[in-house]
Structure 1
């Protein structure tokens, strides 16, 4: 069985790359070890973040770094045993967050983010998935005047990059989200983002669109990839069927570097692990209508179809070491004092790994020294948001068309082969 392209990984990024390649007239095979949308794209806050034009910065303030060093913060923790492998990429991450470098990166990053909602809307409409989307934005909540003042200091940069938001005082916050208990200093309502009430189902809806357009989805092991004698590529699915393709797109999220390493390319990827848990909506109690970030504590709450989802910040560790869901337990205890929150609905917290690159930009483009191999990974916190834009841009690159934005800053060559 012969295809023009095989896309490895059926998360948001891989599925969207596959759709856009189909729309460019390529025959496309989409492969994942599981069903679509059941890995990293499943476990997120469900936000399509048009406002996320400024990637997550490495903090420089001693008031943040010191408690983080002692693992006292809720928003970020680390595994001591992982530090030997984390020191180099974290130091590079820290250096890329110097003011001059960061502003340049934010401009490049923002160009992709600005494409996201329009690209998602095209796929949502084509897939008939409007019922999965709520266009209500989300809220950064500030408990104290000090926290609010610190948060509002960043807004000028967002204004310069065209982000729409409304600053809320305490009364306005209480009016827009009556489920929040007590009186707080206020917040920011980010007005552009959308919420997917079931992130995994949105990926599955896009996958169904891919199939309707003529794409083929199979379950298989990306590790079966090898060169054939005819200079094409070979894969095997779970039925041991031999599949031959001319080009390969690696969109395996946190597993991508395992494949690229076989061809001499080892990007400096590190992982921000995250957890989530669903909770019942208490009967007769008000519910959140938007996602709310408890900004001074460091966790997110999103009203989902399956219940209220609490998502944690970053746990710096190795991808596959056992779960240590300290953050979800602490976040739950805090959230119970903030909103009506019912019983846990999941047997155990879900855990995933965000695939992060020290310069905060994904790797999109050809794999150096391996003709026919292409990269689409390293999106950090924003793979769910950036998937359709990544698909459109990479499909244009692979078919020799002019891309909507300059892609030179996202190419793999920016990290040298060892």
Structure 2
């Protein structure tokens, strides 16, 4: 089997890339070891975060570092045995999170985020996936005035520099919007621009169906078998349908990208932030109207098709270590005090691994030392958000068009790889 392009990885980034290549007349084979969207793209808060211009930085304040060091929080948790291996990533992550460097990174990151909703809108319409989308933003609820004042000030800054829209809600406003939410919340901040997805896996599958309607083919295969084609032109990879050859190959393997890049001589430092989710039935007649973050506790409640999804923050651990859903237990205990959650609907917590670079930006572009090899990974918390915009950029570059955004800030060459 042969194709113009092979895309390795059928998460939201890979499927979006495959769509855009197929739209440009390329024959495309999409390869994954599992079904589409069954890894990291399966579990997330379901947000297309148009407001997320400033990526999540590493804490700089000594007091905050000490509190995280106690390892008793919901928003972050670490495996002590994994820390020696994580030091190279974490130390660089901390360095890039310095205020001046972090602001420069946010400026470079902004064009991707600014096009996130519009690029999703294009694919959502084409895929007939409107039923999975809500366009009413998401909300942060605050327990203290100091925390709310700080976030409102940041929202006001973003409104000026990036036209981000928000609404500040008083405690009474919050009670009207979420009558079943309890707890001592002083108010909330509603981000109005983002869209939310009621079934993230369902959205990936809708995009996959659209890709196949364009003539694309999805097959199961092993990305680690990637090597130069036996014909001497392009690349080949082994799949359940036989060896596939293609002129170009795009690596969109998320946290597993290093399993392939390392064998090709690249040494990107990519860490993982593992995350968990669990679905719950609401107790009685309780209704959660908004995607809602308990800001100072660091967990999320989202009213999805499968139930109310509770998502956790970041777990720093070896990518392939067994599940340790400590944060789910901690978050559930707190969440039950603010909303009447009923029984668990999943047999066990789901876990996924977000691929993160030390400078908080994805790696998007041509491989420095190989013709026909392209990278599209490292999207951290914004894989769902940035899937379509990344896919369009890669497809434009692969086919020789001028990318609609300057890709230099996200190029692989920024690392000594």
Q: TM-score range by the shorter chain?
A: over 0.9
Q: What is aligned with 1:37? A: 37
Residue of structure 2 in register with 1:93 after alignment: 93
Q: Which residue number corresponds to residue 172 of structure 2?
A: 171
Question: Under a length normalisation based on structure 2, what TM-score does the superposition of the two structures give?
Answer: 0.97
Partner residue in 2 for 1:226: 227
- Superposed CA deviations along residues 333-386 of structure 1, whole A, max 9, x for unmatched, are 100010110100111110111100000000000112111110000000001110
1:139·1:190 contact (CA, 8 Å) conserved in 2? yes
- Structure-to-structure mapping, 1:158-237, within 5 angstroms: 158-159=158-159, 160-229=161-230, 230-237=232-239
The whole-number CA distance in structure 2 between the counterparts of 1:152 and 1:62 is 24
Task: Say which is worse superposed, 61-70 or 121-130, in terms of deviation.
Answer: 61-70
Q: Tell me the secondary structure at the aligned position of residue 224 of structure 2.
A: helix
Deviation at 1:183, TM superposition (A): 4.4
Q: Which residue of 2 aligns with 1:405?
A: 405
Question: In terms of mean alpha carbon deviation, does 120-129 or 400-409 score higher?
Answer: 400-409
Cα distance in 2 between the residues matched to 1:182 and 1:408:
46
Deviations 1:146-199 (A, max 9, x none): 221232232233222221111111111111111211442111000111111110
- C-alpha root-mean-square deviation of aligned residues, in Å? 1.1
SS at structure 2 position matched to 1:342: strand
1-structure distance, mates of 2:158, 2:63:
24
Q: C-alpha separation between the residues in 1 aligned to 2:86 and 2:254? A: 18
Q: Deviations over 1:25-58 (max 9, x none)?
A: 1111001111111110011001111111110011
CA distance in 2, matches of 1:250, 1:78: 28
Q: Which residue of 2 aligns with 1:155?
A: 155
Q: Do 2:155 and 2:164's aligned partners in 1 also have CA atoms closer than 8 Å?
A: no
Task: Name the CA distance, whole Å, in 1 between partners of 2:101 and 2:406.
Answer: 18
State the partner residue of 1:26: 26
Aligned-residue offset at 1:236: 1.7
- In the alignment, is the contact (CA less than 8 A) between 2:237 and 2:244 conserved in 1? yes
Please give the alpha-carbon distance, in whole angstroms, between the structure 1 residues aligned to 2:88 and 2:34: 32
Within the alignment, does 1:255 sit opposite 2:256 as a pair?
yes
Contact 2:16/2:388 (8 A) holds in 1: yes
Contact persistence 1:174–1:183 (CA under 8 A)? no
Contact 2:183 2:337 (C-alpha < 8 Å) held by counterparts: no
Gaps of 5+ in 1: none
More displaced stretch, 357-366 vs 146-155: 146-155
- 1:190 and 1:155 map into 2 onto residues whose CA distance is 9
Counting only pairs closer than 5 Å after superposition, residues 268-283 of structure 1 correspond to structure 2 as: 268-283=269-284
CA deviation map 1:280-312 (0-9, x unaligned): 122322x11111000010101101100000000
Alignment of 1:316-327 (within 5 A): 316-327=316-327
TM-score, with structure 1 as normaliser: 0.97
Q: Deviations over 1:56-109 (max 9, x none)?
A: 011112332111112122211111111111111111111111122111110111
Alignment deviations for residues 265-294 of structure 1 (CA, whole Å, 9 cap, x no partner): 121100111010000122322x11111000
Encode CA deviations 1:126-152: one digit per residue, 9 max, x unaligned: 111100111121001101222212322
CA distance in 1, matches of 2:89, 2:305: 37
Please state whether the residue corresponding to 1:248 is helix, strand or coil.
strand
What number of residue pairs does the alignment pair up?
415
> Residue 121 of structure 2 aligns with which residue?
121
Match of residue 266 from structure 1? 267
Structure 2: distance between partners of 1:219 and 1:370: 25
SS of equivalent to 1:226: strand
Say whether the 8 Å CA contact 2:293–2:299 is kept in structure 1: yes
